[in-house]
Amino acid sequence: MMMEPTVHAKNPLARLPAGAWLMLLLLGWLGNAQAQTADPLPSWNDGATKARIVAFVKAVTGPGGKDFVPAAERIAVFDNDGTLWSEQPMYFQLAFALDRVKALAPQHPEWKSKQPFKAALEGDMKALAAAGEHGLLELVMATHAGNTTEEFAQIVRDWAKTARHPKLSRPYTELTFKPMRELLDYLRANGFRVWIVSGGGVEFLRVFAEDLYGVPPEQVIGSSIKTRYELRDGKPVILRLPQIDFIDDKAGKPVGIHKFIGKRPIAAFGNSDGDFQMLEWTTAASGARLGVIVHHDDGEREFAYDRKSPVGKLDRGLDEAARRGWLVVSMKNDWRAVYAGAP
Amino acid sequence: MMMEPTVHAKNPLARLPAGAWLMLLLLGWLGNAQAQTADPLPSWNDGATKARIVAFVKAVTGPGGKDFVPAAERIAVFDNDGTLWSEQPMYFQLAFALDRVKALAPQHPEWKSKQPFKAALEGDMKALAAAGEHGLLELVMATHAGNTTEEFAQIVRDWAKTARHPKLSRPYTELTFKPMRELLDYLRANGFRVWIVSGGGVEFLRVFAEDLYGVPPEQVIGSSIKTRYELRDGKPVILRLPQIDFIDDKAGKPVGIHKFIGKRPIAAFGNSDGDFQMLEWTTAASGARLGVIVHHDDGEREFAYDRKSPVGKLDRGLDEAARRGWLVVSMKNDWRAVYAGAP
């Protein structure tokens, strides 16, 4: 009995006449209806590609449908380089390694005459390529190991603040793909959990993944070097060692997915033959599955490359996509915008 | 204008007199208040141990408090053997390995005369212990590798259906600790995410973790063997190989936590010196931290062991717990019940 007047006094809406109430209800309903029909993928042009992605999401989320998948099993995996951000003219992490060689050079006078460091210091990409996989590995070990995990993350964060893409002259953090970020949000809004499964180094990528993609560290899988737990002046640290632990590329991607997630994804997104087995593993199981290849065919807005590119080579994937039911996204035709810009 | 009568007609509560409304409101409030004060840890005896756990959770979840931790950082890690379920007289996974040797023996007539298999077949625990770490490794490889990940999980599931604890004659799945399961639920209800960080095999444990503890596969970290992705009759599988990939024990636990989670936990629960570095890593950072050691001091309801036990040895942890501010839980005094029983 006491409550009625108290409630009314505190709630200004309670003083409105009945007609106004109805109008508010209707406005609420309209707002809701609009939110439900708003395009979740505005940077994707309307057409078969977008329609297929939306149809897949509707199929696995529609309760009672034959393709319904419970939320706990709605796992989507995304490659990073070339799928969520650019990878030309070189992987961003390689640019970091080269900058790091320059920063460390004063402590290593021998690098001036020793390959692959000499090539890195001189920006001689030809000599760097000639150093091959072994040379690249040497470069990675010299620039990615020898510090603690916290020190390394700080070095990467500091680098990202000033580093600029060599051709686009923009911070690397502005070069994520807007349509793909919308896709991440769209999937999450539909109960998916999203993992990044990258051939790149996991501790490099974790520095960016949460800010740029909303993907927390525990949902980033990547290549790694070994680490060791030890005490430094009585305080525990995790030290990064110059030894490969895991290469999360090609057949390593399903292995990494199984190791970290322990479940098979229902959707996989990649752009190169390094993602082939991840798409194969994802789409080989029964039920509704989505395999997507982002095809870099937009030389004007981004970079055009595929079968013959040393970075992000896409050859077998293009040959087999149709037969395997994988969706090939044309960046040129399917994307209204390319870059997301500043985070 | 049209809406008022429609709403009333459909809602039987709308016909109640004002006094009844008030009573319903009060009942609702009382129910709510009761839910808020209901003991979330009924299997823990009231006392300093329980009070300290509750105080920690309140401190890190109280908005605006000096020890407040945002939900994304509320990460708790639990050892499994001896912390979430029993580990005496031998790790349950060792019991699985021994049963597996028996099941596979017909295909390996040479095992009858070859150690450590001979000891396993004869149940000769003394000879088995004499085979040492190398012998145990041989046993694990022979029983845990050579099949696909899906085959292995099925073998473990089938085993768990009929296997019985040698002393308690109950299914292993009935031997999880009720107070610890309440703790998992209590932490989750307070916005924590819970990982298991076990020295045991990750793929063995993942078979149980979701059903028994509500912990999904992606939140189980453990020791692992290497795997390889390959096609079998055109279908992709992940094959388990007889090579150690990672030992998630002692100093390996912080390494595993960093590898899989990429963040430092704020609470860690263990029971043996194998968990020492995990507790050290967790509690060394600034801010409110909780390190807990479950002490097996209840020979009547479970098993009593610590400093001299070959399984679950707890020696350094007991010496240093007080100085490091770690909470030592007495199973005998702090737990009202021990086992959770059937899942």
Complex-level ipTM: 0.88
**pLDDT given at position B25:** 61
Q: Is the pLDDT of residue A288 over 60?
A: yes
Nearest to A224 among B216, B259, B263 (CB): B259
Nearest to A19 among B1, B217, B238 (CB): B1
Residue of A327, A224, A3, A16 lying closest to B245 (CA atoms): A224
**pLDDT given at position A137:** 87
Paired with A293 in beta bridges are A270, A328
Contact state of A262 with B72 under an 8 Å Cβ cutoff: no
Which of A26, A259, A276 has the highest number of chain B CBs within 10 A, making it the mutation to test binding with B?
Answer: A259
Q: Which residues of chain B have a CB within 8 Å of the CB of A149?
A: 258
Q: Which residues of chain B have a CB within 8 Å of the CB of A203?
A: 262
CA–CA distance, B319 with A333 (Å, rounded to integer): 67
Q: Which residue has the higher pLDDT, A3 or B122?
A: B122
B258-289 tens-digit pLDDT: 999 999 999 999 999 999 999 999 999 999 99
Mean confidence (pLDDT) of chain B: 92
Nearest CA in chain B to A279: B236
CB atoms within 10 A of CB B32: 10
Extract long-range pairs of A46-50: CB within 8 Å, 24+ residues apart: A47/A333, A47/A334, A49/A327, A49/A329, A49/A330, A49/A334, A50/A334
**Strands A220-232, B75-78: parallel, antiparallel or unpaired by DSSP?**
unpaired
B146-201 tens-digit pLDDT: 999 999 999 999 999 999 999 999 999 999 999 999 999 999 999 999 999 999 99
The residue type at B244: I
**CA atoms lying within 13 Å on the CB side of residue A29:** 6
Contact state of B224 with A262 under an 8 Å Cβ cutoff: no
Mean confidence (pLDDT) of chain A: 92
Nearest CA in chain A to B20: A1
Q: What is the per-residue burial (b if ≥16 Cβ within 10 Å, else e) of A147-182?
A: ebbeebbebbeebbeebebeeeeebbbbbbbbbbbb
Q: Which residues of chain A have a CB within 8 Å of the CB of B258?
A: 149, 227, 238
Q: Which residues of chain B have a CB within 8 Å of the CB of A258?
A: 149, 227, 238
Order of all β-strands in the sheet with A193-201: A235-246, A220-232, A193-201, A75-78, A267-270, A290-295, A327-330
Q: Which residues of chain A have a CB within 8 Å of the CB of B217?
A: 261-263
Q: What are phi and psi of B86, to 5 degrees?
A: -65, 165
B218-244 tens-digit pLDDT: 999 999 999 999 999 999 999 999 999
Q: Which of residues 75-134 of A touch B (CB under 8 A)?
A: none
**pLDDT given at position B11:** 47
Q: Is A17 on the interface with B (CB under 8 A)?
A: no
Extract long-range pairs of A98-107: CB within 8 Å, 24+ residues apart: A98/A123, A98/A139, A99/A159, A99/A163, A100/A143, A100/A144, A100/A155, A100/A159, A101/A139, A101/A142, A101/A143, A104/A142, A104/A143
Least confident range from A12-21, B22-31, B63-72, B317-326: namely A12-21
Q: Is B153 on the interface with A (CB under 8 A)?
A: no
Nearest CA in chain B to A3: B22
**pLDDT given at position A255:** 98
A70-123 tens-digit pLDDT: 999 999 999 999 999 999 999 999 999 999 999 999 999 999 999 999 999 999
Q: Is A170 on the interface with B (CB under 8 A)?
A: no
**pLDDT given at position B137:** 87
Alpha helices, DSSP H, located in chain A: 3-10, 18-37, 48-61, 92-104, 117-122, 125-130, 132-144, 149-162, 178-189, 202-213, 252-260, 276-283, 316-324, 331-334
Q: Is B218 on the interface with A (CB under 8 A)?
A: yes
- Shortest Cα distance, chain B CAs vs residue A341, angstroms: 26
Contact state of A218 with B251 under an 8 Å Cβ cutoff: no
- Shortest Cα distance, chain B CAs vs residue A9, angstroms: 17
Nearest CA in chain B to A20: B1
Q: Is B8 on the interface with A (CB under 8 A)?
A: no
Nearest to B236 among A206, A217, A284 (CB): A284
Q: Is the pLDDT of residue A270 over 60?
A: yes
Q: Is the pLDDT of residue A133 over 90?
A: no
Nearest CA in chain A to B234: A284
Contact state of B25 with A3 under an 8 Å Cβ cutoff: yes
Q: pTM for the whole thing? A: 0.89
Nearest to B263 among A217, A255, A262 (CB): A217
CA–CA distance, A226 with A209 (Å, rounded to integer): 21
Q: Is B211 on the interface with A (CB under 8 A)?
A: no
Which tokens hold the place of B50?
A: 């329980």
Q: Is B12 on the interface with A (CB under 8 A)?
A: no
CA–CA distance, B332 with B334 (Å, rounded to integer): 6
From residue B141, alpha-carbon distances to B145, B240, B250 in Å are 5, 9, 21
Q: Which residues of chain B have a CB within 8 Å of the CB of A218?
A: 218, 260-263
Question: For residue B29, what pLDDT band results from cuts at 50, 70 and 90?
Answer: low
Q: Which residues of chain A have a CB within 8 Å of the CB of B255?
A: 227-229, 238
Average pLDDT over residues B79-89: 97
A8-62 tens-digit pLDDT: 444 444 455 556 656 656 666 555 555 556 899 999 999 999 999 999 999 999 9
Which tokens hold the place of A131?
A: 């150093």
Q: Is A228 on the interface with B (CB under 8 A)?
A: yes
Q: What is the per-residue burial (b if ≥16 Cβ within 10 Å, else e) of B55-70?
A: ebbebbbeeeeeeebe
**pLDDT given at position B20:** 63
Average pLDDT over residues A120-133: 90
From residue A276, alpha-carbon distances to A138, A252, B151 in Å are 27, 11, 24
Q: Is the pLDDT of residue A303 over 70?
A: yes
Q: How many CB pairs under 8 A join A and B?
A: 92
Contact state of B277 with A229 under an 8 Å Cβ cutoff: yes
Which residues touch B17 (CB under 8 Å, ≥6 apart)?
none
Q: Sort B139 into a burial class: Cβ within 10 Å, 0-12 / 13-18 / 19+.
A: buried
Q: Which residues of chain B have a CB within 8 Å of the CB of A18?
A: 1, 4
B32-73 tens-digit pLDDT: 555 556 899 999 999 999 999 999 999 999 999 999 999 999
Nearest to B251 among A149, A229, A258 (CB): A229
From residue B79, alpha-carbon distances to B248, B267, B273 in Å are 10, 12, 11
Taking a C-beta distance cutoff of 8 angstroms, is the pair A78, A197 a contact? yes
Contact state of A218 with B255 under an 8 Å Cβ cutoff: no
CA–CA distance, B15 with A82 (Å, rounded to integer): 63
Percent of chain A with pLDDT over 70: 89
Q: Is A148 on the interface with B (CB under 8 A)?
A: no
